[in-house]
């Protein structure tokens, strides 16, 4: 198992971009991936457009270890995620016999042309089954194709999440009454002197307790702890409100 896997989430749907639906799938996946130790590098919300989906998925697939798409997999004209992924990879759409049998069972003996379309997937696609699933998860190369319905997405992701386990992150935090400007040089120096440690700086306004939250994180717990100690020893003690 590699210790640092990267991922992208692609949310497909005009309904999100036009504000008809509040996005919750990316929020769910952000938390899950974090907990799994996966480094999420991109969340992209894009419209139901064939070329945009094709290009966005293909680019993310080549850059990151895993890509998770949500939305656009029903039987209607605005559901084009699966054919778009085929186009992005230059793969043919072929009827998947197992998926076809499932759809026939699900929709009765005579599904119409639009429902039958749903049995067509990019050549070489894999169906991933797990306990509790009525329908499998479609996987095309490193792209996991999830529906837009938040309940079904959650059920499917949770059923297969074990595949995505990576090394966990260690996170330490310092809350201080210093200004960001005073801390800038110290944080920059600390980050650049330690490989694999990321230091974040989050100012808050209107907070009587502290002005800046410093986050120190790494996949190497010793490095995170050392960077944390280094910062604590160099920030005036009186201005450290608390640590975590």
> Which residues make up the interface to its own copies (CB under 8 A)?
14-23, 26-27, 30-31, 34, 40-47, 52, 74-79, 107, 111-115, 149, 151-152, 169, 180-185, 187-188, 191-192, 198-203, 205-206, 215, 217
Closer Cβ to its own copies, 37 or 91, answer by number: 37
State the DSSP H helix or E strand holding residue 32, giving kind and residue range, or none if neither: helix 25-36
Q: State the angle between helix axes of 81-89 and 50-63 in degrees (0 to 180), rounded to the nearest 10.
A: 60
Q: Give the nearest distance from C-beta 169 to its own copies in angstroms.
A: 8
Question: Is residue 219 within 8 Å of 4, Cβ to Cβ?
Answer: yes
Strands 39-46 and 93-95: unpaired
Closer Cβ to its own copies, 146 or 169, answer by number: 169
Question: Is residue 25 within 8 Å of 15, Cβ to Cβ?
Answer: no
Q: Give the nearest distance from C-beta 70 to its own copies in angstroms.
A: 13
Closer Cβ to its own copies, 2 or 112, answer by number: 112
Closer Cβ to its own copies, 13 or 136, answer by number: 13
Q: Give the nearest distance from C-beta 191 to its own copies in angstroms.
A: 6
Q: Give the nearest distance from C-beta 157 to its own copies in angstroms.
A: 15
Separation CA 91–CA 211 (nearest Å): 53
Closer Cβ to its own copies, 10 or 137, answer by number: 10
Separation CA 181–CA 240 (nearest Å): 16
Question: Which residues, other chains included, contact 64 with Cβ-Cβ below 8 Å and sequence gap of 6+?
Answer: 6, 7, 8, 41, 42, 142
Q: Give the nearest distance from C-beta 104 to its own copies in angstroms.
A: 13
Question: Is residue 140 within 8 Å of 125, Cβ to Cβ?
Answer: yes
């Amino acid at each position: 198992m590699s210790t640092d896997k990267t991922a992208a989430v692609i949310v497909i749907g005009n309904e999100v971009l036009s504000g008809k639906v509040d996005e919750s799938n990316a929020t769910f996946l952000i938390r899950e991936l974090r907990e799994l130790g996966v480094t999420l590098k991109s969340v992209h919300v894009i419209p139901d457009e064939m070329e945009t989906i094709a290009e966005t998925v293909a680019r993310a697939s080549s850059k990151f270890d895993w890509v998770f798409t949500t939305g656009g997999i029903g039987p209607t004209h605005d559901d084009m995620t699966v054919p778009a992924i085929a186009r992005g990879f230059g793969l043919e759409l072929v009827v998947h016999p197992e998926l076809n049998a499932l759809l026939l069972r699900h929709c009765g003996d005579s599904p119409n042309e639009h429902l039958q379309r749903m049995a067509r997937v990019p050549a070489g696609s894999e169906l991933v089954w797990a306990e509790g699933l009525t329908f499998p998860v479609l996987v095309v190369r490193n792209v996991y194709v999830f529906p837009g319905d938040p309940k079904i997405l959650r059920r499917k992701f949770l059923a297969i999440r074990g595949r995505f386990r990576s090394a966990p992150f260690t996170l330490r935090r310092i809350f201080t009454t210093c200004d960001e400007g005073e801390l800038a040089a110290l944080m920059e120096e600390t980050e650049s002197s330690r490989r694999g440690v990321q230091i974040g700086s989050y100012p808050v306004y209107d907070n009587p307790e502290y002005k800046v939250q410093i986050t120190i994180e790494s996949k190497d717990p010793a490095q995170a702890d050392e960077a944390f100690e280094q910062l604590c020893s160099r920030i005036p003690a009186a201005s450290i409100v608390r640590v975590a």
